[in-house]
Structure 1
Amino acid sequence: MVGGRTEGRIFTPPPLPRSNFGSPRSSSPSNQTGLSSSLGGDIGEADADRLADALGDLPLAVEQAAIWRVHSGMSAAQYLTLLRQHLAEMPDDEPGEYGMMRSVASAWSVPLHHLRTEFPAALQLLQACAYFGPQPIPQSYFTAVGVPVPAELAQAMADPQELDRIVQQISDYGLAKVDHRRKTLQLHRLVLAVLKNQLSPEEKVDMRHAAHVLLAHANPADPGAPRSWPRYAELLPHVIMSEAMRCSKDDRVCVLLIHVVMYLLSCGDYQGAADLAQQIVAEWRDRFGETHADTLEMTRLRGRALYRLGRYDESYQLNRRIYKVVRDTFGEGNMLFLRTANSLRMSLRSRGSFVEELQMQQNIFERSCHVLGRGHPNTLEYANNLAGCLRLNGQFFKARQLDEDTWRRKKNVLGEDHPDTFLTLNALAMDMRECGEHIQACRIQEDNLAKQRAVVGDEHPRTIGAMRNLAVARRKAGLYEAAADLSQACVRMYRRRHGARHLDTFTAQMCLSADLRQLGRLPESRKLGELSHRLFVERYGEKHPYTLVAAINLAVTLRLLGMVEVARSRDEQTLTVLRDTFDSDHPFCLVAATNLASDFAALGALHTAYEMDEDTLERSTRTLGGRHPSTLSVALNLAIDLAQLNRHEEATALHARTVTDLENVLGVGHPATMYAISWTRANSDTDTMQF
């Protein structure tokens, strides 16, 4: 079922009461007294009984009859005569769920017939509403101009006072539930069916199309902005019930459908987006053709939803196919090609092709700068993605520079409280963390998460991703208990949202495993680490960079539990694959090499540990800088190697410099600083660096 979200919380239209229209009233004496009251209060029991019998004892019909009699002042006898006339005009074999309830339809025909002669605009408004859903319909939908509706309704829509008047008439006759505070009207499912059944085939076509255009006019045209999400949540059930996907007369309706699916993606309803996009693609492929731009764009959105659901192979195959179609049909110098290329680029990450992904995203960004300009929102999105590619390829400082520029531009273009602006600040905090600014990164992300929660809600996928990022930042800042608390919350929320086998879930579990290791809870850390690593292997294979990150982190725990040879073997294999995938200066390689040297030291291979640490220190200094915490960790370990090799003077000098730098970079009270003071080897972990 397609749902939606409001303020980051799942929105599912509630089931509406059926008014028990299918259950006749009881014939008990107490109910007969109540029936007399329901039918107007001035009606005798005999007349009430005849009237109820004519209405099939159905509550919805009885309620409508009472409202009409009170409003019109019509006697029971007059109403019964009029009711029988309408019944006689109706076919006996009306099809459908509601067709059997001729008495209900006839009860409604009485006020509808009156509207046709006295207030045609009111009837026409109801006929247009017949193609909406049974959820509340904002009255503002009927303020559009240029909508193909009958002249009387068009005139009323152009005059706010007249529109209010006909809505009041509808309310007075009990034909719709009108909420004056929210300015909405709502029709029962049965009423919708009755209204449709009274239209001619030509009128049905015209009114359905009018409903589609009315909905298109109500499109906020900003599906990524949280302020628009409540309006899309209102539109969603009506878009579905009106079968807007079948409209081929107005391009604005296609735009609306694209925006509705984008809204579902933006607010985190990935399953709803995938389901609705699939239905629309099937319809549009038949109506417009597979190479039509709208069909391709909707297919792209479906691929994006599949990716977010963790259906990576399906997403990749879909994105690769439409990429070729768009390129061959429209060329490469257009927005559709750039969006499609960006979706395919996203799929490359799930396949572990980080280097190829970076090259492709660099090309997308440069093309977008040329086609759209550097400040266009799409270009800013591509810049954000390019920074992510740089980060995964170990180019942290370039990523930080690009993210900082993009964040400033997004604040000006989109606003400081836009979800995409939060996303870039989240990325910038991650860059700062990976560049070694652990304390500042943690502070920035704490503030960013609080603001993001206030705008999109606690349960939004991006909020949970920002929480996980903060958990890593807290761990790097030495706040181990706070990190573990946040990681545990992420695991719970991801399991509830995605289940146990989604990437987000087992990535959060890997993060929690590292937190528990820092807290000394090694058996728990191992259990979660092994579970996470196994799930990475099952999803991505042994050689995917994400799997290798999980292997690095797990090996530290295994060594600390005394399984040193197992840890050494795992680290050695991991480092070999990482060096084949990237180069030896990639930070993933540096972390793996740091831990492998510690494995050798624990096994008593002191010269091997020393040689590895010496090489890693030189590489880390060149790649990350001499005062980066990872570089200082290697320097500490090298000092310990020197001491164990009886080179005490060199060891003491290096140790003193390293401790001073750690005190300046992380602070005197940081656990890493205190471990360094006590000549305890440093362990390194890393992260998949995703949102």
Structure 2
Amino acid sequence: MSGARTPVGSAERGTARQTVTISFAGFNRAWAAWIGDRLERRGIRVVYMRWDSPAGIPLVDSLRDLQLAEGRVLIVVSEWYFQLGPRTHEEWNAALREVAAPDPARFAAVSVTTATVPTAAAVLAPANLTNMGAEEAERRLLDRLDLPSDPLPDAADDDRRGPRFPATMPEVWGGVPRRNTRFTGREPLLNDAYHLLQGAEQGAGVLTLHGMSGVGKTQLAAEYAYRFGSEYDVVWWVNAEKRVTYRRVLAELAPKLGLTTGAEYGERLRAVRDALRRGEPYGRWLLILDGADEPDQLWDLVPTGPGHVLITSRNPEWGEHNSRMLEVPVYDRDESVAFIRRRAPRLTPAEAKQLAEALEDLPLLLDQTAGWLNDSDLSVDEYIQLLEGGVDRDVVKVSADFPLAFQTAWSILLNNIRETVPESVALLRLCTFFAPGSIPVRLLKEMPVDELPEQIAGLLNDPLLWNRAINQLRQYSVVRLESHETSGEEASPGESLYVHRMVHQIVHKDMPDEDRRDFIDVVRRALAAADPGRPTDSRLWDQYAEIVPHLKYADVLKSTDRTVQRLVLNCLRYMWFTGEYTSGITLGERALAAWRELIGEDHPRVWEVTYHYANLLRSGGEYVRTEAIERAAVEYLRRERGEEDLDYLRAASGLAADLSALGRYEEALQLTERLYSVYRGLLGEQDSRTLNALNNLGFSLRLLGRYDETLDIDRRTLEARRQLLRGRHPWTLFSETSYAIDLRLLGRYGEAESVQSKNLRDHRLLMGADNPQTLRAELNLALCQYRGGARESAGRLFTRVLERYERKLGEAHMQTLAAAVSQSCYAREHGDIDRARETSESVIARYEMALSPSHPFLVGARANHALILRSVGERDHALALIEQALVDMTAAVGENHPWTLGCAVNAAALRNLVGDPESAAELSRTTVTRAIESLGRTRPLTLTARIALAADLRALRDRRQAEKIEQEALSDLEATLGDQHVHTIAARSRTRPYWDFEPQAT
């Protein structure tokens, strides 16, 4: 019965469960998983055996070992199966004839390729599964194994979701690079990655592939997507080198998931993250973050949920952000040899080994070198002689990461490229004046063509030459195209050209000075031409985010071109508006030093860059440094130009802001009043600069507790900005938040929350969820909810805002600390006293490092901490702390300031608590009198003081007076806040009220 097919399993097994061993190349794992699932549904026991064929073991022996497998052996035939080793077709033909042909009952096969395979594979009689649907493929598979193909009787009740048919893409698939048909080895890494992700608990499926540049992390991630993609409903690839790119590409997933959102990418991003977290509409998703080398910039945006996240990074710090880590080393020598022989078939195994050793098994360099070496007449020996010093140049170590003489290897490669398409080298050199990584093709293609160097002008004006140059670079893996959704090879304006960091560094170093001068000038002008010109327009922030990384590499600060300098100023303004303070400070500091030397100390653009630099420093919390800069500018400009000069007025406005930040509120008020008067006289009421001065005046008044005046000023500023700018301009939204803060401080909680809720929605749409201005709005909404009685929702919001402040600005930033103060107060009152104490102590320590000992913020934080000590039973310590805070706050802001009155309310309570009711009542009477005089009878703080006085009188057994004061205060509480407000209910139940200090950080 030679050649006859027999059913799965052997006759002597009788009724034993039938077994099929599936032998497959790792590249075809998706096929093996689908085939196994189809068989298991029919009661077949399946054993998976990934085929490996070590070069040191004769192929015949490996096939004989396969005969030892249980049951029938089903081989998944593809070119990958026969290339492992790698083995020649002649070897395979001989082995198949010797092992498989005599034993047809043990071997069966299915073919999943249309490529050429060894002719002797015919002895396996493979059933072809290509170019057909899942149903027909399953029928052919079952027929090949002599299994019935009738529908399963319980198929309708089988709800489990098996692997997707490999020829069918996941329902959502985007951005994944084309599959590398030269991918070699890495089987243990791929298997480890698969098991680490599959074995992770829900919400913890995050894995980082980390290793040095050029080691093949991106190729490994792409192979993972193809190999295991059939097990997911969504596979989405994201370039994660920059935060802005990551946000944009992830937001583009929204319509693919069928999510209904507006066009604003921040809204789409939130919707995508929420959908992934909930697993709706798809629970089996794979997100790949490629090139995520800055975890501090991205970790807060990594989605959680039932799916998986695969990260590629050079940075092992992802391990500190709840990611499992898997290091990607250089190739094993056998992998290097196999890869080289695929890339350069003309090389013998011995030559491939020799080359791998010389290039130290680094995949990127193997790819580039073997690619062109295959096309040249140069022998491996001759190449290695060149590599070891046969070329006329220094052999240098480009980076500590690369202990090989890459400079020499690259010189050889570039010479080869230059001889075929010389424009390719020009294009590559041009690219090195952009940042390494993704370079938007738009920035290259939209360069102004007048006065360009001839080699560049010809390249940009001739589409055929442009594509020849790019394809030449792609052929040797020097660059790659980032967009993978187009059918052709042409680089479209929406694509990016990816230049590896190693390539960038070496090409930039190996460049004639003449080219360097020409190309840097071209790129500077290209960046200036790409400047949208409106850094306050949030719709253009993505464009600025695309430009900023390239400023350093184009060395723009050495340019005297006005358009280039204007670009720098606009980028600084953009960085201030978006809260990128650290990067902005670095750029501003460098620009100020460079321009003072380049164009002179008193040049108008030097004063402009000083203004932007000081704004960034102040927003970053560097108040002492900023005050010194602004004071020097103010004194110089007053002396040289007078007090009505616009540069002087702008510097003086900055100085007023510094004085406010340093706690010198009266000085700041005097200066802001004078500046507003001068601006109004010079420019009129409706000029934007006048409105900025009016806004600053309102802030100065708020810090002094003059909330009624502040409300009037902020209302005027808001209305004028709505008319002059637009409703959703950042400054208009800022004024609206300020107005809502004023309403809340005046006790108009319902109005404040209504205004703030709408304002926060607009902030998120316009500026994104993590912009500092948005976070300011969100913190105020939490405070509105808290004061209004919605304690549970406020608590969640406090926690969320603080976490995002810490991620965006850092734990020590003044705005972060303001959020931490409020979160600590909430935790103190709602059961988490340990967290409240820990947070409060951290805030005080950070204030002590950053502020003067008498600063009101530090004093107020200590006053809050006294309440925590009271709650944990440390009464004497608490009393001493609050008494000192009362003295210090009085000295800092005066005895009638709301902050001083609040400290007095708390001090009276603690005096009462430690058994000194007379002193407590005396302080409470004084506090009530001052509060009524300065704030009015029905302000929340005044009502708090009146209820507290009633409690102190009751402790003195003056019940009649206590009852009278209490009833009057209750009546006013019901009239102002309502009879069901938490403050009213607490007062009615005679719960002693306290006051929480709230720092008014900008």
TM-score range, shorter chain: 0.7 to 0.9
Alignment partner of 1:268 is 2:549: no
Task: Assess, with a 3 A threshold, how the Cα gap between structure 1 residues 485 and 189 changes in structure 2: closer, same or farther.
Answer: closer
Alignment partner of 1:104 is 2:447: no
Give the Cα–Cα distance (whole angstroms) in 1 for the partners of residues 915 and 378 of structure 2: 105
Q: For residues 60-75 of structure 1, what are the structure 2 equivalents within 5 Å?
A: none
SS in 2 for 1:405: helix
Give the Cα–Cα distance (whole angstroms) in 2 for the partners of residues 498 and 475 of structure 1: 24
Q: Is the 8 A contact 1:568 1:599 kept in 2?
A: yes
The match for 2:437 is 135
Q: For residues 251-650 of structure 1, what are the structure 2 equivalents within 5 Å?
A: 251-371=562-682, 374-495=685-806, 501-519=812-830, 525=836, 528-529=839-840, 532-533=843-844, 535-558=846-869, 570-599=881-910, 601-602=912-913, 612-640=923-951
Alignment partner of 1:10 is 2:313: no
State the Cα RMSD in Å: 4.5
The match for 2:470 is 171
Give the Cα–Cα distance (whole angstroms) in 1 for the partners of residues 353 and 883 of structure 2: 91
Give the Cα–Cα distance (whole angstroms) in 1 for the partners of residues 978 and 814 of structure 2: 34
Task: Assess, with a 3 A threshold, how the Cα gap between structure 1 residues 415 and 168 changes in structure 2: closer, same or farther.
Answer: farther
After superposition, give the CA deviation of every residue in 1:223-257 in whole Å (9 maximum; x if it has no partner): 34443333233223321122222223x12222222
5+ residue gaps in structure 1? 18-22
Task: Assess, with a 3 A threshold, how the Cα gap between structure 1 residues 647 and 78 changes in structure 2: closer, same or farther.
Answer: closer
The match for 2:392 is 91
The match for 1:659 is 970
Higher relative contact order (CA 8 A, sep 6+): 1
Aligned AA (1:262) = R
Aligned AA (2:481) = V
**TM-score between both structures, scaled by the size of structure 2:** 0.58
Task: Assess, with a 3 A threshold, how the Cα gap between structure 1 residues 124 and 603 changes in structure 2: closer, same or farther.
Answer: closer
Task: Assess, with a 3 A threshold, how the Cα gap between structure 1 residues 353 and 136 changes in structure 2: closer, same or farther.
Answer: same
Q: Is the 8 A contact 1:285 1:295 kept in 2?
A: yes
Alignment partner of 1:218 is 2:530: yes
Q: Is the 8 A contact 2:783 2:794 kept in 1?
A: yes
Task: Assess, with a 3 A threshold, how the Cα gap between structure 1 residues 108 and 370 changes in structure 2: closer, same or farther.
Answer: farther
Give the Cα–Cα distance (whole angstroms) in 1 for the partners of residues 564 and 443 of structure 2: 14
**TM-score between both structures, scaled by the size of structure 1:** 0.80
SS in 2 for 1:361: helix
Richer in helix (by share): 1
The match for 1:20 is none
Give the Cα–Cα distance (whole angstroms) in 1 for the partners of residues 949 and 332 of structure 2: 90
SS in 1 for 2:552: helix
Q: Is the 8 A contact 2:702 2:710 kept in 1?
A: yes
- Using the TM superposition, give the Cα deviation of residue 67 of structure 1 relative to its aligned residue in structure 2, in angstroms: 7.2
- Using the TM superposition, give the Cα deviation of residue 437 of structure 1 relative to its aligned residue in structure 2, in angstroms: 0.9
Q: Is the 8 A contact 2:698 2:709 kept in 1?
A: yes
Task: Assess, with a 3 A threshold, how the Cα gap between structure 1 residues 611 and 602 changes in structure 2: closer, same or farther.
Answer: same
Q: For residues 666-685 of structure 1, what are the structure 2 equivalents within 5 Å?
A: 666-685=977-996
Give the Cα–Cα distance (whole angstroms) in 2 for the partners of residues 390 and 451 of structure 1: 26
- Using the TM superposition, give the Cα deviation of residue 393 of structure 1 relative to its aligned residue in structure 2, in angstroms: 0.9
After superposition, give the CA deviation of every residue in 1:28-66 in whole Å (9 maximum; x if it has no partner): 6x8667545424x6x57599979979x989976775688
After superposition, give the CA deviation of every residue in 1:248-295 in whole Å (9 maximum; x if it has no partner): 3x1222222233333333333322222333333333343334444434
Q: Is the 8 A contact 1:459 1:493 kept in 2?
A: yes
Task: Assess, with a 3 A threshold, how the Cα gap between structure 1 residues 219 and 51 changes in structure 2: closer, same or farther.
Answer: farther
SS in 1 for 2:979: coil
- Using the TM superposition, give the Cα deviation of residue 303 of structure 1 relative to its aligned residue in structure 2, in angstroms: 3.7
- Using the TM superposition, give the Cα deviation of residue 607 of structure 1 relative to its aligned residue in structure 2, in angstroms: 6.3
The match for 2:513 is 201
Q: Is the 8 A contact 1:5 1:264 kept in 2?
A: no
Give the Cα–Cα distance (whole angstroms) in 2 for the partners of residues 421 and 139 of structure 1: 35
Task: Assess, with a 3 A threshold, how the Cα gap between structure 1 residues 663 and 213 changes in structure 2: closer, same or farther.
Answer: same
Task: Assess, with a 3 A threshold, how the Cα gap between structure 1 residues 26 and 503 changes in structure 2: closer, same or farther.
Answer: closer
Q: Is the 8 A contact 1:61 1:108 kept in 2?
A: no
After superposition, give the CA deviation of every residue in 1:122-174 in whole Å (9 maximum; x if it has no partner): 765544323222222222224243754125744775x6xx4x44432222222
SS in 2 for 1:686: coil
Q: Is the 8 A contact 1:61 1:104 kept in 2?
A: no
Task: Assess, with a 3 A threshold, how the Cα gap between structure 1 residues 620 and 221 changes in structure 2: closer, same or farther.
Answer: same
SS in 2 for 1:136: strand
The match for 1:231 is 543
After superposition, give the CA deviation of every residue in 1:352-393 in whole Å (9 maximum; x if it has no partner): 201111222233334444555544544444433322211001
- Worse-superposed segment, 296-305 or 666-675: 296-305
- Using the TM superposition, give the Cα deviation of residue 580 of structure 1 relative to its aligned residue in structure 2, in angstroms: 3.8
After superposition, give the CA deviation of every residue in 1:536-561 in whole Å (9 maximum; x if it has no partner): 34543442211232233334455566
After superposition, give the CA deviation of every residue in 1:60-97 in whole Å (9 maximum; x if it has no partner): 67756887799xxxx755999xx99x999973447773
Task: Assess, with a 3 A threshold, how the Cα gap between structure 1 residues 543 and 179 changes in structure 2: closer, same or farther.
Answer: closer
Alignment partner of 1:242 is 2:543: no
Task: Assess, with a 3 A threshold, how the Cα gap between structure 1 residues 590 and 112 changes in structure 2: closer, same or farther.
Answer: same
- Using the TM superposition, give the Cα deviation of residue 434 of structure 1 relative to its aligned residue in structure 2, in angstroms: 0.8
Give the Cα–Cα distance (whole angstroms) in 2 for the partners of residues 646 and 15 of structure 1: 71
- Using the TM superposition, give the Cα deviation of residue 211 of structure 1 relative to its aligned residue in structure 2, in angstroms: 1.3
- Using the TM superposition, give the Cα deviation of residue 408 of structure 1 relative to its aligned residue in structure 2, in angstroms: 3.5
Aligned AA (1:235) = I
Task: Assess, with a 3 A threshold, how the Cα gap between structure 1 residues 211 and 580 changes in structure 2: closer, same or farther.
Answer: same
SS in 2 for 1:105: helix
Task: Assess, with a 3 A threshold, how the Cα gap between structure 1 residues 344 and 455 changes in structure 2: closer, same or farther.
Answer: same
The match for 2:127 is none
Between the aligned residues of both structures, percent identity stands at 24
After superposition, give the CA deviation of every residue in 1:478-522 in whole Å (9 maximum; x if it has no partner): 333443443344444455566655444544343233223433666
SS in 1 for 2:437: coil
Give the Cα–Cα distance (whole angstroms) in 2 for the partners of residues 681 and 31 of structure 1: 76
SS in 1 for 2:497: strand
- Using the TM superposition, give the Cα deviation of residue 101 of structure 1 relative to its aligned residue in structure 2, in angstroms: 3.9
Q: Which has the larger radius of gyration?
A: 2
Give the Cα–Cα distance (whole angstroms) in 1 for the partners of residues 540 and 991 of structure 2: 54
Richer in strand (by share): 2
Give the Cα–Cα distance (whole angstroms) in 2 for the partners of residues 349 and 307 of structure 1: 11
Give the Cα–Cα distance (whole angstroms) in 1 for the partners of residues 449 and 415 of structure 2: 30
Give the Cα–Cα distance (whole angstroms) in 2 for the partners of residues 311 and 78 of structure 1: 60
Q: Is the 8 A contact 2:782 2:797 kept in 1?
A: yes
Task: Assess, with a 3 A threshold, how the Cα gap between structure 1 residues 201 and 510 changes in structure 2: closer, same or farther.
Answer: closer
- Using the TM superposition, give the Cα deviation of residue 419 of structure 1 relative to its aligned residue in structure 2, in angstroms: 4.0
SS in 1 for 2:481: strand
